[in-house]
Amino acid sequence: MTDRLMLDDEDVLSRLSELRRLIDYHNQRYYALDDPQISDAQYDNLFRQLVDLEKEHPELITADSPTQRVGFAPVEKFLAFHHDTPLLSLENAMNIEEAVEFDRRVRKILSTQAQIDYVAELKMDGLAIELVYENGSLVGAGTRGDGFTGEDVSTNVRTIRAAPWRLLSNPGANPLPAKLAVRGEVFIEKRDFEKLNEQRSSRGEAPFANPRNAAAGSLRQIDPAVTASRPLRVFFYGMGTFEGQEVFTTHYAILEQFKLWGLPVNPQSRLCKGIGEAISFFEQLVERREYLPYEIDGVVIKVNDLSAQRLLGEKSRSPRWAIALKFSPYQVQTHVEDIRFNVGRTGIITPVAILNPVLVGGVTVKRATLHNEDEIARKDIRIGDAVLVHRAGDVIPEVAEVITSKRTGKEIAFRMVSLCPACGATVVRLAEEAFHRCVNRNCPAQIKGAIVHFASRDAMDITGLGDKTVSRFIDQNIIRNVSDLYRLRMDNLENLAGFGKKSAQNLLESIEASKHVVLSRFLYSLGISHVGTFVADLLANSFGSLQNIRSASIEELQKTRGIGEKVATAIAAYFSNPENTHLVDELTGELGLNIQNPQSAQPLASGFWSGKTVVFTGSLSAMSRQEAARAVSAKGARVTESVSAKTDLVVAGVAPGSKLDKARTLGVKVLDEDQFVTLVTADS
């Protein structure tokens, strides 16, 4: 009898091992090689056999069994995940001309006129991830985070069937490295996304906005069982840390090796001879994009030769050997059902198109800004028009154009309001402005906007004081201006709908904490016209105290590099208005705000940048435009918004726009980002 039991146990162990091996193998054939060798029904049958056998013998279940991808315990919070080598982002090319310029820069740095071999890969619209393997076994996984530190989602990643727990070791293939970090993109296919939203709707849950949000939200679940229930997939596209025998000379060879190790690689990846073939591949995808089973937003073009990649190097945020050539925004047809008006905190009245809801790039769009009366006239937008809508930069909904051929004659021409829709006051348009403005300083829409701005993160940073809360406070006459925030008490809030004792206490504590604020933040919070965070920093560092700024003349303000006549006039006008000075006195006096002055004013600089007038246009990858402006201002330059004959330099990043054209027309010297970074770091 004992011999019989031992034989049965050996049979069970053998069958368990064989089923697990077969399921892992077919997972990798399906996900990594896109070459399934059995049908879905056959796969399901194998999986069911394993499940049944493990139910009969639960003592034989192992942690690495395919059935255990749903069996992890929830974690309370995500730990930090440190990338051994930075997981950088990519510089964007918004059109083909910028891709050609990228190729020119590459060949210039490599000192060659020969065609460069590139690898073109689909830019998946998902969530960046890094998986770490040691001796072929998965030991950890993390999100991108800031490129250096992300969130440890190792447990959740183990629930994704496409992410192998063990790399395949094939006879005659390269040996498994001691350590390997692979980079990829977690995503959800379109059909799976639709099914997921149908399931959520049937349960009364809110649908996800788009597949990317669904993928990101699924991977960052506290409970891995929730992640396991979501149809997540992954494609791998690059390598971070590699500790082993160095055998790769090209990026394409790495992708081919990934497949042999069982790591899924997008089968659409293409080896291209020269930038022309890469652009041709991109243009083909423009036509095929909507027929792909997943969302993409462009093509990533990478230099294939690894030694060339090393020569090209990296910027602070992106490699110089790769670029993302982005698609033009999706344009979708809909109708303008109405045009309404939004009143901002400075009284500017912005027309807004109310649209027949339409899905644009995975997001339902119901409204689109129309900017101002001139823009509406230029595009001839009328109520009832059929229009094409896109999301500028895949973010902000805009009306791209009117389909005039579909007009019926029933469309209604636009007319700008003469009275403010929020308060009924007179609306004016000044000669030098493109917009209309409400002249009533007590307009409730302006008051609401001013309070929301005052409490915003870059200003006083009062947590819990957003649009809805401020609107409720104003509607119920709890507050009338920003100074009233510092008079709020528990009895104002605890009986208010939506406020419990804890949330009320949190808000009051955040308001109290905001009383200690640095000068630049306080200046920005006041909402002075033309004073953003950058100008507020300049004022604080140049004048050293609030009193010095309040008493400065227009001429004295203009002596600060980076502040022109228009900005100086606005600052002086603000502090000459009795209502404004009363508010500032009230805040810093009776209400106890403690304004912390900078340690010392910045000295005047000398060197290459000193005295130069600089304009920035387009987006920079090494730093934000605000950071770049601060860097040159600290070196004595004056940063302005418009190009003129007095401009000394224009710094052009990605998608520079009309400022670059004007600079070339006027003969103003133009720096690309690499030249700018070289000069700004050298002149120290």
- For the CA atoms of 343, 349, 354, 357, the dihedral, rounded to the nearest 10 degrees, stands at -70
Beta carbons within 8 Å of 576's beta carbon, 6+ residues apart = none
Separation CA 151–CA 87 (nearest Å): 13
Which residue is listed with tokens 């990594």? 32
Q: How many residues does the chain have?
A: 684
**Virtual CA dihedral for 475, 480, 482, 484, nearest 10 degrees?**
-100
Structure tokens at 416: 């700008």
Which sign does the torsion angle of CA 462, 466, 469, 472 carry?
A: positive
Give the separation between CA 418 and CA 49, rounded to whole angstroms.
75
Q: DSSP per residue over 376-444, as a string?
A: HHHHT--BT-EEEEEEETTTEEEEEEE-GGG--S--B-----SB-TTT--BEE--TT-SSEEE--TT-H
Amino acid at 539: L
Considering only CA atoms, which of 65, 58, 68, 61 is closest in space to residue 24? 65
Residue 508: its H or E element = helix 501-513
Report how far residue 605's alpha carbon sits from residue 614's, in angstroms, rounded to the nearest whole number. 15
Indicate the SS3 state at residue 235.
Answer: strand
Scan for tokens 């020269």, then name that residue: 274
CB atoms inside a 10 Å sphere around CB 569:
15
How far is residue 656's CA from residue 640's CA, in Å, rounded to a whole number? 15
Contacts 24+ apart (CB under 8 A), 437-440: 437/346, 437/347, 437/348, 437/349, 438/343, 438/347, 438/349, 439/347, 440/347
- The answer to whether residue 123 is catalytic is yes
The active-site residue out of 55, 77, 108, 123 is: 123
Residue with structure tokens 């050997």? 321
> What are the C-alpha distances in Å from 132 to residues 29, 141, 154?
21, 6, 9
Just list the catalytic residues: 123
